[in-house]
């Protein structure tokens, strides 16, 4: 049996494995099917340790397994999680959290090493330990940067936890909602060591049951979970979550269409025309069994320009602006993405965040683009301007479209296709004049996007991949950090975004959309601008 068939067989068999966890009776198994939620992760999951939850494929399952001090609702508003409430002292930059006293870790044999029970209550000292671990160089957590503005933190007692910042940082509560900041028990870290990655112990609505890497992952309902719904019923409603790892998106879609998966996320070229119209609506043939849910997604897709490149084309603001004016983003999204996306004609900050500005950005103006190309030629003497765009195969269609359009205005485009890992490495090391990139919000504040252009954040010390430097921009960035009022910050964010658009270190392409195709039997599966998967309120009909 070849590898693809083997993975398909294993994906189908996960349902049987999950149901066998409930009962040995086939009749009873079929009765339990509505209690199991199934989805596929086509990318590999390398760990279930929240200290390394830096991408969606890890964040999704760890969202089910762990909790933090605070959480975000589907509108990205800060809500209590393990912290019941908190106070903020603006003069000392101190956050004081009052914790719940009814949160237990998942039952696990690790606790039996030090006590007579297989679980225990979470205390503020567990957050102190978890934050220490996040900063531990030996752990090498990918989330260590979350603590860069923290001066100190301390458990005052079992239910009070205090954090003091070095300076004002209004987006800090949003950072604390990230999976990096999840609470973990010292007993489990000591017991499993490096194997905690595959033996996670948290507090979440589901707990770890089974992981056969690259084949299946099974989570079971946590009977000790502390959250309840509005009627006082305990969460979660489901008994299990079953995750398969089919790498082929077309096979994933086939499984979904056959009812063997409960939802799929995103719109792949292999099936986009089959399931949605060119206007982004669900095809008629699926409406009786599938629902389409969409939301603005805090992800801006763009081309970045490495401004330290020794190239007259790159150094010319006129040519960078010409590229921005030289292609039709609306047509690109309509025909290449079936309308699933918002053309990026309003700046870099995506729709859904304070600072997004309808009047700021580049629209399609080919005549203006030609004039700017002519201006570049006159300034430099370069009669045949040529640029090279580095991309991976997933975005080749977009880059080829841009290539055709820019050649109409007098710019020759070479496309360099490379593996995603190579693209990331070369982008970080400044080896690409122009590179295809995206920025997904780490936390729901426009500062996260604007930090890409703050000059102290030059790579490799930060996310400024373009090496953009502007004194006015930098001063506004620092000013915004000292303002807690979001309406005042919004005005500064808009001004900063305008500088980025005027100087053109980037070519915004589109603001992404979170897209979910969901089986009609599923309810309670919301959607949010960060496209996080939250399953604690999901139900399935029989």
CATH of the domain at 165: 3.90.76.10
- Please state, as a whole number, how many other Cβ atoms lie within 10 Å of the Cβ of residue 309: 17
Question: Residue 498, by phi and psi: left (phi above 0), alpha (psi -120 to 50) or beta?
Answer: alpha
Tokens 């009047």 appear where?
359
Give residue-wise pLDDT tens across range 121-174.
Answer: 999 999 999 999 999 999 999 899 999 999 999 999 999 999 999 998 989 999
Give 115's DSSP letter: S
- 473 and 358 belong to one structural domain: yes
Do 323 and 391 lie in a common domain? Answer: yes
Is there a single domain that holds both residue 364 and residue 306?
A: yes
Same domain, 191 and 208: no
The strand ranges marked E within 158-289 are 160-165, 206-212, 216-221, 240-244, 263-265
For residue 172, tell me if it sits in a domain: yes
Question: CATH number of the domain that 242 lies in?
Answer: 3.40.190.10
Asked if residue 352 and residue 497 are part of one domain, the reply reads yes
| pLDDT tops 70 at residue 306 | yes
Nearest to residue 161, comparing CAs of 296, 33, 68, 288?
A: 68
Q: With 70 as the cut, is the pLDDT of residue 18 above it? A: no
Strand partners, 305: 434
* Rounded CA separation 110/190 (Å): 8
| Least reliable range by pLDDT among 58-62, 291-295, 308-312, 480-484 | 480-484
DSSP symbols for 311-361: -HHHH-HHHHHHHHHSS-HHHHHHHHSTT-SEE--S-SSPTTSTT--TT-S
Assess whether pLDDT exceeds 60 at residue 460.
yes
Contacts of 504 (CB under 8 A, 6+ apart): 305, 317, 320, 321, 323, 324
Q: Which two tokens stand for residue 305?
A: 């320009």
Q: How high is the mean pLDDT of the chain? A: 92
Q: Is the pLDDT of residue 422 over 90?
A: yes
Residue 529 has pLDDT above 80, yes or no: yes
| pLDDT surpasses 60 at 10 | no
Do 84 and 27 lie in one domain? The reply is no
Q: How buried is 157 (Cβ within 10 angstroms: 0-12 exposed, 13-18 middle, 19+ buried)?
A: exposed
Residue 99 lies in a domain: yes
List pLDDT tens digits, range 227-276. 999 999 999 999 999 999 998 889 999 999 999 999 999 888 889 899 99
- The per-residue pLDDT for range 177-194, each reduced to its tens digit, is 999 999 999 999 999 999
Q: Quick one: pLDDT at residue 30? A: 57
Per the structure, the count of domains in the chain is 3
**pLDDT band at 25, cuts 50/70/90?**
very low
Q: For position 151, what pLDDT does the model report?
A: 97
Last residue of a domain, one of 178, 196, 214: 196
Q: Which residue has the higher pLDDT, 338 or 206?
A: 206
* Residues 437-447 pLDDT 10s: 999 888 889 99
Residue 348 in domain: yes
> What's the rounded mean pLDDT across residues 337-348?
93
Q: 192-217: per-residue pLDDT in tens?
A: 999 999 999 999 999 999 999 999 99
Q: In this structure, what token pair is assigned to residue 296?
A: 């603005």
Q: Is residue 274 part of a domain?
A: no
Strands 506-519 and 263-265: antiparallel
* Alpha-helical runs (H) found in 186-296: 186-192, 249-257, 272-275
Domain assignment present for residue 125? The answer is yes
Task: Please determine, for residue 20, whether its predicted confidence score (pLDDT) is greater than 60.
Answer: no
Higher-confidence position of 3 and 356: 356
Co-location of 75 and 96 in the same domain = yes
Residues 334 and 471 in one domain: yes
Could you tell me if 303 and 451 lie in one domain?
yes
pLDDT band at residue 16 under the 50/70/90 scheme: low
- Please say which residue of 173, 196, 219 terminates a domain: 196
* Residue 359, pLDDT score: 84
Hunting for tokens 């004609």 — which residue is that?
A: 345
What's the CATH number where 319 sits?
A: 3.10.105.10
500, 400: one domain: yes
Residue 397 lies in a domain: yes
Q: How far apart are CA 144 and CA 146, in angstroms?
A: 5
Confidence of residue 24 (pLDDT cuts 50, 70, 90): very low
Averaged pLDDT for residues 67-94 = 94
Burial profile 459-498: b = 16 or more Cβ within 10 angstroms, e = fewer: beeebbbbbbbbeebbebbeebbeeeeeeebbebbbbbbb
Domain, as residue range, for 21: 1-49+57-62+204-262+521-542
pTM of the predicted structure, to 2 decimals: 0.84
360 shares its domain with 496: yes
- Confidence grade of residue 3 (pLDDT, cut at 50, 70, 90): very low
What are the backbone angles phi and psi of residue 109, rounded to the nearest 5°? -65, -20
Could you tell me which of 220, 486, 466, 251 has the C-alpha nearest to residue 353?
Answer: 486
In a domain, 502, yes or no: yes
Mean pLDDT to the nearest integer, 93-108:
98
What local confidence, expressed as pLDDT, does residue 357 receive? 85
How is residue 303 annotated by DSSP? E
Q: What is the pLDDT of residue 19?
A: 53
Question: Which of the four pLDDT bands, split at 50, 70 and 90, describes residue 97?
Answer: very high
Q: Is 308 among the domain residues?
A: yes
Task: From 177, 196, 215, give the residue that closes a domain.
Answer: 196
Domain co-membership, 314 together with 410: yes
Whether the per-residue pLDDT at 348 is higher than 60: the answer is yes
Nearest one of 327, 323, 315, 307 to 432, comparing CA atoms = 307
Nearest one of 102, 108, 111, 60 to 82, comparing CA atoms: 102
């Amino acid at each position: 049996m070849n590898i693809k068939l083997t993975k398909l067989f294993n994906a189908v068999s996960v349902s049987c494995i999950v149901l066998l966890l409930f009962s040995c009776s086939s009749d009873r198994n079929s009765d339990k099917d509505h209690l199991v939620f199934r989805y596929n992760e086509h990318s590999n999951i390398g760990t279930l340790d929240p200290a390394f939850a830096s991408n969606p494929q890890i964040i999704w399952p760890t969202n089910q397994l762990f909790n933090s001090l605070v959480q975000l609702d589907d509108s990205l508003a800060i809500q209590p999680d393990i912290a019941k409430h908190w106070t903020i002292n603006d003069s000392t930059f101190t956050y004081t959290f009052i914790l719940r006293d009814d949160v237990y870790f998942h039952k696990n044999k690790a606790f039996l090493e030090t006590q007579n029970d297989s679980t225990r209550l979470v205390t503020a000292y567990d957050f102190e330990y978890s934050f220490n671990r996040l900063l531990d160089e030996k752990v090498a957590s990918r989330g260590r940067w979350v603590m860069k503005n923290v001066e100190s933190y301390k458990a005052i007692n079992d239910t009070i936890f205090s954090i003091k910042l070095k300076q004002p940082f209004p987006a800090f509560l949003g950072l604390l909602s990230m999976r990096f900041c999840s609470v973990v028990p010292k007993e489990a870290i000591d017991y499993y060591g490096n194997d905690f990655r595959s033996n996670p112990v948290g507090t979440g609505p589901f707990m770890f049951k089974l992981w056969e890497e690259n084949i299946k992952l099974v989570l079971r309902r946590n009977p000790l979970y502390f959250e309840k719904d509005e009627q006082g019923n305990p969460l979660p409603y489901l008994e299990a979550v079953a995750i398969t790892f089919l790498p082929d998106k077309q096979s994933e879609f086939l499984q979904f269409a056959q009812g063997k998966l409960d939802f799929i996320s995103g719109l792949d070229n292999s099936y986009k025309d089959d399931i949605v119209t060119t206007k982004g609506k669900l095809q008629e043939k699926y409406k009786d069994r599938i629902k389409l849910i969409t939301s603005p997604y805090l992800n801006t897709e763009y081309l970045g320009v490495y401004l330290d490149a020794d190239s007259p084309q790159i150094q010319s603001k006129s040519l960078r602006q010409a590229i921005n004016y030289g292609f039709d983003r609306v047509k690109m999204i309509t025909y290449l993405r079936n309308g699933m996306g918002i053309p990026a004609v309003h700046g870099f900050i995506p729709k859904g965040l304070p600072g997004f500005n309808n009047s700021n950005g580049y629209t399609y103006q080919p005549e203006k683009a030609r004039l700017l190309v002519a201006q570049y030629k006159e300034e430099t003497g370069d009669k045949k301007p040529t640029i090279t765009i580095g991309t991976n195969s997933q975005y080749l269609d977009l880059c080829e479209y841009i290539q055709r359009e820019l050649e109409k205005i007098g710019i020759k485009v070479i496309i360099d296709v490379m593996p995603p890992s190579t693209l990331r490495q070369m982008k970080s090391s400044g080896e690409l004049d122009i590179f295809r990139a995206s920025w997904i919000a780490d936390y729901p504040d426009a500062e996260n996007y604007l930090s890409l252009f703050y000059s102290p954040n030059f790579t490799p010390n930060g996310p400024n991949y373009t090496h953009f430097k502007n004194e006015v921009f930098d001063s506004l960035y620092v000013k915004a950090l000292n303002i807690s009022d979001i309406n005042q910050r919004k005005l500064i964010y808009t001004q900063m975004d305008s500088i980025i658009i005027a100087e053109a270190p980037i070519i915004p392409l589109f603001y992404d959309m979170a897209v979910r195709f969901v089986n009609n039997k599923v309810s309670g599966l919301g959607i949010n601008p960060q496209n996080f998967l939250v399953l604690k309120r999901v139900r399935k009909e029989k």
